[in-house]
Amino acid sequence: MTARALGLLLGWCADLLLADPARHHPVAWFGSSAHRLEQRVWRDDARAGAAYAAVLVAGVVAPAVLVERRGGPVVRTLTTATATWVALGGTSLDREAAAVQARLESGDLAGARRQVARIVGRETAGLDEAGVARAAVESVAENTSDAVVGTLVWGAALGLPGLLGHRAANTLDAMVGHRTVRHERFGWAAARLDDLLGLPAARLTASLAVVLGEDPRAAARAWRRDAGAHPSPNAGPVEAAFAGALGLSLGGPTTYGTRTEPRPRLGDGRAPGPVDLARARRLARRVGAGALVISVLLAAAPRPARR
């Protein structure tokens, strides 16, 4: 087994056992640095935003390239394992979704609204039970692609630089990629970079949801028919495939601050409820395990020797 493949496997096991670091998370350090830099360089200009994103992503990718090229097998294994653990978010996502499920099942709608706000960007204060369940299922689907499958795919393809570059781009999209008044132009480049890097993971996630879901035909039909109407090129396929696989209907009006977006209907089933969160979590775990197997096999495949 190659250092890259072993590092991915060890990092996956660390996330499964330990979840995200409770304190001093490197992603939080990166986010703090990105926020401070934004305060200094922000302009209502797409070029300024592109330069901002390029500097931050290059700042983590460049040293990772040096480690990947010059480090020995042990160093590459350990750094890849650590980066995989830090970048993966599957276990923490599952725990957050389980907490939303528990509050819904106990009838604590107010607590469920507060809990789901930890994993979604939309307004949650006015959501009913079905709205909270829908938000949580959509978040489980989308974040399985972003924080699990995407991490493994780019780790398998490029090793340490892929792991850190993908995570940096995803973090910047969460910080400045939303279409707010401040970030409409400045965050454009970060959002497009995240969309580009998310393309392979979203298609793999949707494919695995079709193969490993409860209703493969419905999942494939919803992906083919409904995904293109979604405003996100990556969330659309993933959420549509999850909706079909679980026999649910997702989508609908979604409020961000004072702006409400008319999201398309995904799938043909009923509105989600508390019980469906457990089903979505099980599907997400199967998808993540499938992505791990594929990524480790790709990382372990022989590569042409360097000249």
Residue 21 scores a pLDDT above 80? no
pLDDT category, 289, cuts 50, 70, 90? very high
- Mean pLDDT, residues 76-92 taken together: 96
**φ, ψ of residue 133 in degrees (nearest 5):** -65, -40
The whole domain housing 95 covers: 3-300
- The pLDDT tens digits of the residues spanning 155-189 come to 999 999 999 999 999 999 989 987 778 898 999 99
CB 3 within 8 A of CB 283: no
Does residue 17 fall inside a structural domain?
yes
Per-residue b or e along 169-194, where b marks 16 or more CB atoms closer than 10 Å to that residue's CB:
bbbbbbbbbbeeeebebbbbbbbbbb
Task: For the beta carbon of residue 232, count every other beta carbon within 10 angstroms.
Answer: 16
Average pLDDT, the chain: 94
- The pLDDT tens digits of the residues spanning 233-250 come to 999 999 999 999 999 999
Task: For the beta carbon of residue 216, count every other beta carbon within 10 angstroms.
Answer: 15
Does residue 25 fall inside a structural domain?
yes
Does residue 305 fall inside a structural domain?
no
Does residue 154 fall inside a structural domain?
yes
Find the length of the chain. Answer: 307
What are the Cα distances from residue 55, in Å, to 44, 51, 187, 188? Answer: 18, 6, 14, 15
Distance between CA 271 and CA 268 in Å, rounded? Answer: 9
Residue 299 scores a pLDDT above 90? yes
Query: CA nearest 204: which of 158, 245, 145, 155?
Result: 145
State the Cα angle at 118 between 114 and 119, rounded to 5°: 125
User: Could you tell me what percent of the chain has a pLDDT over 70?
Assistant: 98
* Both tokens assigned to 34: 């990105």
Distance between CA 232 and CA 267 in Å, rounded? Answer: 16
- The pLDDT tens digits of the residues spanning 179-221 come to 778 898 999 999 999 999 999 999 999 999 999 999 999 999 9
pLDDT value for 196? 96
Spatial CB neighbours of 1, under 8 Å, sequence gap ≥ 6: 9, 296, 300
Does residue 266 fall inside a structural domain?
yes
E strand or H helix at 39: helix 26-41
pLDDT category, 47, cuts 50, 70, 90? very high
Does residue 218 fall inside a structural domain?
yes
Query: CA nearest 251: which of 141, 135, 155?
Result: 135
Does residue 98 fall inside a structural domain?
yes
- Mean pLDDT, residues 77-82 taken together: 97
Q: What's the pTM?
A: 0.93
What is the residue type of 72?
G
Query: CA nearest 43: which of 176, 146, 240?
Result: 176
* Both tokens assigned to 289: 């395990």
- The pLDDT tens digits of the residues spanning 129-138 come to 999 999 999 9
State the Cα angle at 84 between 211 and 174, rounded to 5°: 80
How many folded domains does the chain comprise?
1
Distance of CA 117 to the CA centre of its chain: 16
- Mean pLDDT, residues 269-284 taken together: 96
Is 229 in a helix, a strand, or coil? helix
Secondary structure of the chain: what % helix, strand, coil (to 5)? 70, 5, 25
Does residue 306 fall inside a structural domain?
no
Query: CA nearest 119: which of 105, 106, 100?
Result: 100
pLDDT value for 181? 80
Distance between CA 161 and CA 246 in Å, rounded? Answer: 35
End-to-end Cα separation, the chain, in angstroms: 22
pLDDT value for 25? 85
